[in-house]
Amino acid sequence: MRLLHTMLRVGDLERSLSFYTEVLGMRLLRRKDYPSGRFTLAFVGYGEESDTTVLELTHNWDTAAYDLGSGYGHIALGVDDIQAVCEAIRAKGGKVVREPGPMKHGNTVIAFVEDPDGYKVELIQLSSRG
């Protein structure tokens, strides 16, 4: 077994696709409309679905926003230079909600950004994991 994807429900698919592709640098892997169900699925990621875990963005055509709930945590991305990545995200209009620094009770350097729907994306400095 392997992890295939994580699904997020998004209110504005084009806005979310712009964030994940232009701000975070993922690629749109596939997209399909389901008119009879009034929804669209779009899969984005850094590699092919056959090789890597990807993100499924689900847009229900009649829903503009969601209550994120208190059980959801975040998506995590490993990065080589967390400072440069945060600067690039800011330059592209992304929102850094926690500046890079060591996590509480540890040494791993992390930061958090927020997508257009309010979902948190954790950035982890790969060289500091431990």
Residues serving a catalytic function are 122
β pairing state of 75-79 and 27-34: unpaired
Biggest distance spanned by C-alpha atoms of the chain: 50
Alpha carbons 75 and 68: distance in angstroms, whole number = 13
CB 19 within 8 A of CB 115: yes
Q: Are 109 and 102 in contact (CB under 8 A)?
A: yes
Q: Report d(CA 17, CA 12) in Å as an integer.
A: 9
Q: CA-CA distance, 24 to 125, in Å (whole number)?
A: 15
